[in-house]
Amino acid sequence: MVSAGDFRNGVTLEIEGNIYQIIEFQHVKPGKGAAFVRTKLKNIINGGVVEKTFRPTEKFPQARIDRVEMQYLYADGDLYNFMNMETYDQIALASDTVGDALKFVKENEMVKICSHNGNVFAIEPPLFVELEITETEPGVKGDTATGATKPATVETGATVYVPLFVNQNDIIKIDTRTGEYLSRV
């Protein structure tokens, strides 16, 4: 049990049957009345953010989030298959659970599967990936004073905006959190 007086950023709690992660917290001691804790909480299942206040003595159970490293095997229709490399157990997740987390992930790459009480709620891809560009327009020389970009399709099918000097068959590094081009490899 975690009391509201001991809240810290990043702690996950179970409040009213939902799992929340603390984004921000602030201990407030007004001139009149009792002290309280103002928090900004993110629901880790649906991604919604709410603001709540608590008395410092309120207690909540800490939610245990399991993060297991698994290998992404393949997609079969609406199911995405993953394998635990230690136990060789395989699981298949529906496309609504996966969302667009695998937009920049190739087959046989490692991802983290996040679950609470056995229910998978998110997939964390690696922070940076290196992918080959399968299709892009040739760069046009001219007005480049503004740092011009062009769309490029990578081998997973996702579209990334890259600088004009990047060509087809180049391998680029991408930040999976923002989907931005970082550099050529």
pLDDT at 147 over 80: no
48-94 residue pLDDT tens:
889 999 888 889 998 888 888 999 888 888 888 889 888 888 888 88
**What is the model's pLDDT at position 17?**
81
pLDDT beyond 70 at 9 = yes
Angstrom distance (rounded) from CA 56 to CA 29: 11
- CB of 48 closer than 8 Å to CB of 42: yes
In terms of residue numbers, what domain contains 6? 2-60
Position 33 pLDDT exceeds 70: yes
| Residue 165 pLDDT | 84
Out of 60, 77, 104, pick the residue that ends a domain: 60
Q: Does residue 30 sit in the same domain as residue 74?
A: no
Are 83 and 120 members of one domain?
A: yes
Counting the structural domains of the chain, the total is 3
For residue 41, the domain's CATH number is: 2.30.30.30
Which of 20, 42, 60 is at the close of a domain?
Answer: 60
Domain match, 120 and 89 both: yes
Please state, in angstroms and rounded to a whole number, the distance separating the CA atoms of residues 123 and 125: 6
Averaged pLDDT, 120-134: 86
Q: Are residues 10 and 51 in the same domain?
A: yes
Mean pLDDT of 137-163: 80
51 and 74 within one domain: no
Q: What is the pLDDT of residues 95-119, one digit of tens each?
A: 877 778 788 888 888 888 888 887 7
Residues 45 and 91 in one domain: no
Do 134 and 178 lie in one domain? The reply is yes
Mean pLDDT over all residues of the chain?
85
133 and 170 fall within a common domain:
yes
Q: Which CATH number fits the domain that encloses residue 166? A: 2.40.50.140
Q: Model's pTM, two decimal places?
A: 0.69
- DSSP assignment of 58-120 equals -EEPBPPPEEEEEEEEEEETTEEEEEETTT--EEEEEHHHHTTTTTT--TT-EEEEEEETTEE
Residues 33 and 56 in one domain: yes
